[in-house]
Amino acid sequence: MIQWMQKHLALSEKGAKELIKGMLWSALSYMTLMIPMSIIIMFLNEVLSPVLSGEQVAPNLLLYIGLGVVAILLMIPFHWLQYGSVFIATYNESANKRVTLAEKLRKLPLSFFGQRDVSDLTTTIMSDCTGMEHAFSHAVPQLGGSLIFTILVIIMLFIVNWQMGLALFWVFPISLIMVFGSKKLQDQAGQAHLDAKVNCAEGIQECLETVRELKAYNRKEEYLHGLFKKMDRAEKAQIKSELTTDTFLATGQAFLRLGLVTVILTGGTLLVSGETTLLTYFMFLMAATRIYDPLSGVLANIAEIFNARLKISRMQEIESQPIQEGATEYSVDGFDIVFDHVFFAYNNDEPVLSDVSFTAKQGEITALVGPSGSGKSTAAKLTARFWDVSGGRITLGGTDIKTVDPESLLKNYAIVFQDVVLFDNTVMENIRIGRKDASDKEVVAAAKAAQCEEFINRLPEGYHTVIGENGAILSGGERQRLSIARAILKNAPVILLDEATASLDVESETMVQEAISQLIAGKTVLIIAHRMRTVAGADKIVVLSDGKVEQMGSPDELVQFDGMYKRMAILQEQSASWSLSKN
């Protein structure tokens, strides 16, 4: 049972156990709701029996008042225990599920994120988990409890009078068939709603991320018109989904009420023929007034579980994704990086790197150059195992990085990308990401080495200034220098620089290059750049073209041969003399 729940409801072992407890406490709490009805039946029996026999005996009102108080005192702890085992346990499970999904996402390769939109993943972690939370707190335990309660009541009533029991419950199987028979339609409408909602969320996120470009090119109205269409589709899909579910649910719930009619007719017939007593008739009538509410709840809970299953399947899809694994403890012989006949393709039919081989030696600067789309950034990301190679291998100090746990591997890497990511926190904490246990003194030293001191001192609170989302109050060069400060603080033996100065002005570029000089001393350095002057001091240059190694050698060697490197150097020299002209 527990394993089935873990597999089909995406629960942890503890969550499955708590859910079973919740079902049992729900059943017991529902049973306590029958106690007042039992007391009323006892009271009616005491009142009606003397009347029918011609005796005059007054009922003991104090006894029934006392029994009523006892019933309330019994109902309170059972309902309290139900709440604790259902709601609190479910909220804890929901919190753990969000953390589990986040941990799973943290371990997935970047190839997964290239196939999924961020808003889609956000919807899964937030909205889908919330839907699961509601289903497991308001539907599943109540469904289990209602079924247990209903089965016990059916058995009891059938023992008392099977004809009236059949008249009371014959409608329930047919109502169930109505709801289960509509599952395919409910799933289709529910999936369409989820797809439309994710599409709408993607549109909103894209609008927020590109608002500057939309305004700059006067496309805001046009884009918002398309976004409003997505919102309308999401709204209509939700209405259709809810209408589909509610139509069959309301039909099934309405059909249940026919059972009251059949109880009245069957009971009246049996009473007239003398096959049942008036008290039994009253008992079934009272049962009919009570039993159809939980049965209606059963139908509603089944419909909600159908909806929750769609959301659970999205979570299970993430949880089933293969993660990159490897040894957490490994040894290396130095920090040379070797590409050994490496092949790589994002899609199987579109190779990005083909038979690439080169060595980036420790203590040297190895530069990757080539036209856009030649595979430079891909090679750098493969070096850090952001993706795994399709063929060949990459080694660090003689160890195949594919055999090493990615997080353990990255302890040896400091990476500076062209697109810097900063957090809405202080300057101090943004730099400390490089090494979380670094002291304030070490953070300041790294900032000075990265040429950050000058602009940090201009900030209102210096190192304790909150810099906004992605460093909103800083310039591009300042943000880049903060990322280099992180790398300096980490002091890793391998440095990856991906277009670290490509979008900077001359002054910022000079400062960043000085900071990089502090960073790379004595390290294995793999640098990607388009500007020839950036790589002029490299020890080795690897020229990539169409995913293959076109040339390899020192800058002085390559400039002597007619090849891609020399052509790129000449073109950049010519572009340096370019100026605006009216002609």
- 570 band by pLDDT with thresholds 50, 70 and 90: confident
- 520 in Cβ contact with 364 (< 8 Å): no
pLDDT for position 233: 92
Distance CA 29, CA 82 (A): 7
The alpha-carbon radius of gyration of the chain (Å, integer) is 36
Distance CA 353, CA 373 (A): 10
Complete DSSP assignment for 54-121: T------HHHHHHHHHHHHHHHHHHHHHHHIIIIIHHHHHHHHHHHHHHHHHHHS-HHHHHHS-HHHH
Least confident of 136-145, 492-501, 560-569: 136-145
Spatial CA neighbour of 308 closest among 152, 440, 135: 135
The answer to whether the Cα torsion of 109, 113, 118, 121 is positive or negative is: negative
- With residue 369 as reference, give the H or E element that holds it: strand 365-369
User: What tens digit of pLDDT does each residue of 13-68 get?
Assistant: 777 777 777 777 777 777 776 777 677 767 766 766 665 555 666 667 777 778 77
Structure tokens that stand for 34 in this block: 């029958």
Helices 278-319 and 258-272 cross at an angle (nearest 10°) of 150
Spatial CA neighbour of 131 closest among 96, 90, 101, 102: 90
Average pLDDT over residues 162-181: 88
Average pLDDT over residues 555-572: 83
Is pLDDT at 558 greater than 60 in this prediction? yes
Amino acid 471 reads G
Question: Phi and psi (nearest 5°) for 39?
Answer: -65, -40
Complete DSSP assignment for 329-355: S---SS--EEEEEEEEEEETTEEEEEE
Strand partners of residue 209: none
pLDDT for position 581: 57
Average pLDDT over residues 77-94: 76
- 8 band by pLDDT with thresholds 50, 70 and 90: low
Is pLDDT at 289 greater than 80 in this prediction? no
- With residue 168 as reference, give the H or E element that holds it: helix 162-169
pLDDT for position 51: 56
pLDDT for position 402: 92
Question: Phi and psi (nearest 5°) for 304?
Answer: -70, -35
Is pLDDT at 284 greater than 70 in this prediction? yes
Structure tokens that stand for 476 in this block: 């591009």
CB atoms under 10 Å from CB of 411, counted, come to 11
Q: How distant, in Å, are the alpha carbons of 14, 21, 134, 198 from that of 96?
A: 11, 18, 15, 23
Find all residues with CB under 8 Å of 438, minimum gap 6, and list them.
Answer: 432, 446, 489
Average pLDDT over residues 412-428: 88
- 346 in Cβ contact with 547 (< 8 Å): no
pLDDT for position 361: 92
- 26 in Cβ contact with 86 (< 8 Å): yes
Distance CA 454, CA 55 (A): 104
Question: Phi and psi (nearest 5°) for 551?
Answer: -145, 160
pLDDT for position 467: 92
pLDDT for position 358: 93
Average pLDDT over residues 83-97: 78
User: What tens digit of pLDDT does each residue of 307-338 get?
Assistant: 888 788 888 888 888 888 888 888 888 899 99
Complete DSSP assignment for 292-334: HHHHHHHHHHHHHHHHHHHHHHHHHHHHTS-----BSS---SS
Find all residues with CB under 8 Å of 572, minimum gap 6, and list them.
Answer: 531, 532, 533
Distance CA 356, CA 550 (A): 10
Looking only at the bridges linking them, the beta strands covering 365-369 and 540-545 are parallel
- Walk me through the domains of the chain, giving residue ranges and CATH numbers: 2-319 (1.20.1560.10), 363-385+405-576 (3.40.50.300)
Highest mean pLDDT range out of 142-151, 553-562, 563-572?
Answer: 553-562
Spatial CA neighbour of 481 closest among 366, 494, 507: 507
DSSP structure class, residue 421: -
CB atoms under 10 Å from CB of 129, counted, come to 22
- 367 in Cβ contact with 540 (< 8 Å): yes
- 343 band by pLDDT with thresholds 50, 70 and 90: very high
User: What tens digit of pLDDT does each residue of 364-374 get?
Assistant: 889 998 888 88
pTM: 0.69
- 228 in Cβ contact with 176 (< 8 Å): no
Mean of the per-residue pLDDT values of the chain: 82
Highest mean pLDDT range out of 119-123, 148-152, 474-478?
Answer: 474-478
User: What tens digit of pLDDT does each residue of 470-522 get?
Assistant: 888 998 888 888 888 898 899 899 999 887 665 556 666 676 677 777 777 77
Distance CA 277, CA 267 (A): 9
- With residue 455 as reference, give the H or E element that holds it: helix 453-458
